[in-house]
Amino acid sequence: MHARVVYDTTFGNTRTIAEVIAAELGQGTTSLSLGDLTDASLDGVDVLVVGCPINGWRPTERMQEFLRNLTPGSLTGVRAAAFDTRVKLFIHGDAAGKISHALQDAGATIVAKPHGFIVQGTEGPLAPGETGKAGAWAAFIGAELRATA
């Protein structure tokens, strides 16, 4: 399995979640910031987890640009999942859902329901227990991957 967790972050909370997910998926899974992404960064990847903070009810501008640049069929054969970090409000947007749809539109097979992780206040930190929830979500993804291998 060649897995990569790609993320965008503003205050570091999404990076923390991405690193937890990568560690739980194990087997050489790496996390990579959108700012460090190159044209070859997704070559050979068969598992892709993508996440960012919610910004104005949707993914960040950098994430939207990344998603727009995915061509139809470019992720065929890739199993994928999406997450976001969000402030807990009555209405908060859904970046993870939008990311998941874009990954699927590019040909990826979605292996887990999009997931949001709670940040306290605009800048964080992560709410208590959120890194544990990220680890549990990644363990679920790992189990799904093994079941469909």
CATH (domain of 83): 3.40.50.360
The count of domains in the chain is: 1
> Which one, of 111, 115, 112, 110, lies nearest residue 134 by Cα?
115
Residue 115 corresponds to which tokens in the numbers above?
A: 């997931």
**Rounded distance, CA 43 to CA 87, Å?**
33
Strand partners, 119: 87, 126
pLDDT along the chain (149 residues), means of 10: 95 98 93 94 95 92 96 96 89 87 98 96 94 97 88
With CA atoms as reference, report the closest residue to 145 among 29, 52, 38, 13: 29
Determine how many CB atoms are found less than 10 A away from the CB of residue 90: 4
Q: Which domain holds residue 29?
A: 3-147
What's the pTM value of the predicted model, to 2 decimals? 0.96
